[in-house]
Amino acid sequence: MNGKHIVLGITGGIAAYKAASLVRLFVKAGAEVQVIMTPNAKEFITPVTLSTLSGKPVISEFFTANTGQWNSHVDLGLWADAMVIAPATASTIAKMANGVADNMLVTSYLSSRAPVFVAPAMDFDMMRHPTTCRNIELLRSYGNHIIEPATGELASHLVGKGRMEEPEKIFETVRDFFQSPLTMKGKRVLVTAGPTRERIDPVRFISNYSTGKMGVAIADAAARRGAEVTLVLGPSEVRPQHSGVDVINVESAREMLEACQTHFPGCDIAVMTAAVADYTVANPAEHKIKREGNRPPVIEFVQNPDIAATLGACKKPGQILVGFALETDNEENNALDKIRRKNLDFVVMNSLRDHGAGFATDTNKVTIFNRDGSSQAFQLKSKMQVAEDILDAVTKVE
Ligand code: C5P
């Protein structure tokens, strides 16, 4: 945990007193901890205790009252390598699940790109209420890590599920996340991600709805496992979090192909998640196309190179090539046909028919089809978890 930046969110539950031990565990392991408390949390534990243990003033409000200093939720969100919310009350969980940004903690949560760990703590009946269950499931589906509460005697003296997991367990969960075994150390991984843009003229292009989230999650996951990762990324707002990912920004399918041809020969594994435009404009205009009378312009398209197939054609023994397929129908046949045509080792298929799968969501529901016709269907999961499943499948390729 050395040098890791942890934002520890503490909310107003009796388990807040345990957050003091959690701060100590992180600090002892070498992490820097910034505590954010909700106003109610201060009723349960004093900010002085937590600022003393963390060595940093606790943040609770958007402004520091006596100096007028603005506490930037955006800066905090970007500073964090991980956010840990412990204890997380039913109220904070509901706000997080629904984007109610009425305090510094939830606002920072919404601004953060870091992995988030949520340790719920509440009374037994609140914990099992369908609203709470749904909110926790929503948080999980957005890629947050839920550290399940333990069962035992609660502050209300009721016995049941709802007691915040012990600080040692919470600490270990976060530590293990950062120390995932380096099973891909020494491997070189190439990932393509995002859409491509094909220029019509200097101000216009055709593209698609891909955000690049799935490919970026795979690049991050491979880097966490110790691989050297090159990410060839089409125009995308999403950025990898791991410093071990080398990003090559490209725009068109041609540029993406060139970057891949440079890096594929030296790589062990290539995962093609990019949504490459199938066609590009035959003759992009040098100047902006003007509206002329009532005659709409006619744009001629030509086929783009198939990057996956090009790499598949020169794949050497030992290299693993993984493709994606996004289908609306006849999924299995299309997936198997793609494996053959592009010389892939397996295809990760997502269907636009599945709710929560495909473009722009933080979740995905995939089925992996292998060369031998076997397949494995996965549940709806966060893209971060789907990335881990795909890398697990890569390690099983003979
Ligand atoms: O043929 P289809 O576009 O459905 O295949 C999808 C797979 O092929 C994805 O892995 C995608 O990244 C890759 N692909 C490519 N170059 C293209 C088209 C698709 O690499 N021109």
Digit-coded pLDDT (tens) for 46-56? 999 999 999 99
Same domain, 227 and 119: no
Q: Got the DSSP string for 81-126? A: SEEEEEEE-HHHHHHHHHT---SHHHHHHHH--S-EEEEE---HHH
CA 198–ligand 1 middle distance (angstroms): 15
* Residue 218 CB less than 6 A away from ligand 1: no
Taking the C-alpha atoms of residue 250 and residue 230, their distance in angstroms, rounded to an integer, is 13
Question: Can 98 be counted among the known catalytic residues?
Answer: no
> Which of these, 201, 374, 370, lies nearest to 282 by C-alpha position?
201
pLDDT, residue 42, reads 96
pLDDT, residue 189, reads 98
Domain endpoint, select from 137, 161, 179: 179
Same domain, 125 and 258: no
For residue 245, the surrounding DSSP H or E stretch is strand 245-249
Q: pLDDT grade, residue 359 (50/70/90)?
A: low
* Residue 308 CB less than 6 A away from ligand 1: yes
| Mutation to probe ligand 1, out of 326, 342, 368, 394 (largest number of atoms < 8 A from CB) | 342
Give 106-150 pLDDT, tens digit per residue: 999 999 889 899 999 999 899 999 999 999 989 988 888 889 898
Same domain, 166 and 49: yes
Same domain, 65 and 194: no
Taking the C-alpha atoms of residue 66 and residue 43, their distance in angstroms, rounded to an integer, is 21
Domain endpoint, select from 145, 160, 179: 179
**At a CB cut-off of 8 Å and minimum separation 6, what does 130 contact?**
none
Same domain, 382 and 290: yes
* Residue 252 CB less than 6 A away from ligand 1: no
Taking the C-alpha atoms of residue 253 and residue 307, their distance in angstroms, rounded to an integer, is 8
Same domain, 119 and 202: no
Query: Structurally, how many domains does the chain consist of?
Result: 2
Domain endpoint, select from 151, 179, 207: 179
Q: Is the pLDDT of residue 346 over 70?
A: yes
Q: Specify the residue with its C-alpha closest to ligand 1, atom 21.
A: 306
Q: Is the pLDDT of residue 65 over 70?
A: no
pLDDT, residue 362, reads 75
CATH code of the domain covering residue 348: 3.40.50.10300
pTM for the whole structure: 0.67
Question: 351 burial class (0-12, 13-18, 19+ CB within 10 angstroms)?
Answer: middle
Same domain, 194 and 167: no
- Whole-number Cα distances in Å, 242 to 141, 251, 355: 22, 22, 29
Catalytic-role residue among 208, 283, 343, 370: 208
Taking the C-alpha atoms of residue 13 and residue 45, their distance in angstroms, rounded to an integer, is 10
* Residue 253 CB less than 6 A away from ligand 1: yes
Same domain, 174 and 205: no
Same domain, 155 and 224: no
Q: Which of 23-32, 33-42, 82-91, 235-244 has the lowest mean pLDDT?
A: 235-244
Q: How many residues does the chain have?
A: 398
Q: Is residue 208 a contact partner of residue 235, using CB atoms and an 8 Å limit?
A: no
Q: Is the pLDDT of residue 82 over 90?
A: yes
Which residue, chain included where needed, has tokens 């502050």? 155
CATH code of the domain covering residue 41: 3.40.50.1950
CA 65–ligand 1 middle distance (angstroms): 55
CA 273–ligand 1 middle distance (angstroms): 8
The per-residue pLDDT of the chain, averaged, comes to: 92
* Residue 325 CB less than 6 A away from ligand 1: yes
Handedness of CA 63, 69, 70, 72 (dihedral sign): negative
Q: Is residue 143 a contact partner of residue 114, using CB atoms and an 8 Å limit?
A: no
Domain range for 124: 5-179
Same domain, 59 and 88: yes
